[in-house]
Amino acid sequence: MKRVVLVLACLLAGSAFAEPCLRAGDVQQPDMLGLWRAELVGVGHVGTLLLQKHPEYAESFSGWIDRDGDKRQLAGDAEDGEFTIEESVDGRHIAANWVGEIVEGSCGKEARGTWTIDGQKSGKAFVLHKE
* Mean per-residue pLDDT, 2-11: 46
Q: Does the residue 3 lie in any domain?
A: no
Q: Does the residue 12 lie in any domain?
A: no
pLDDT in tens, 65-74: 999 999 999 9
pLDDT in tens, 37-75: 999 999 888 899 999 999 999 999 999 999 999 999 999
* Number of domains observed in the structure of the chain: 1
Confidence of residue 18 (pLDDT cuts 50, 70, 90): low
Q: Does the residue 13 lie in any domain?
A: no
**What b/e string do you get for 96-107 counting C-beta neighbours within 10 Å, with b at 16 or more?**
bbbbbbbbeebb
pTM: 0.82
Q: Does the residue 14 lie in any domain?
A: no
* Mean per-residue pLDDT, 98-119: 97
**φ/ψ of residue 11, rounded to 5:** -65, -45
CATH of the domain at 28: 2.40.128.30
- DSSP strand pairing (110-117 vs 124-130): antiparallel
Q: Does the residue 104 lie in any domain?
A: yes
Q: Does the residue 6 lie in any domain?
A: no
Q: Does the residue 101 lie in any domain?
A: yes
DSSP 68: T
The SS3 call for residue 81 is: coil
pLDDT of residue 10 exceeding 60, the answer is no
Q: Domain of residue 91: give its range.
A: 21-130
Please tell me the predicted confidence (pLDDT) of residue 20. 85
pLDDT of residue 5 exceeding 90, the answer is no
Please tell me the predicted confidence (pLDDT) of residue 3. 54
Q: Does the residue 1 lie in any domain?
A: no
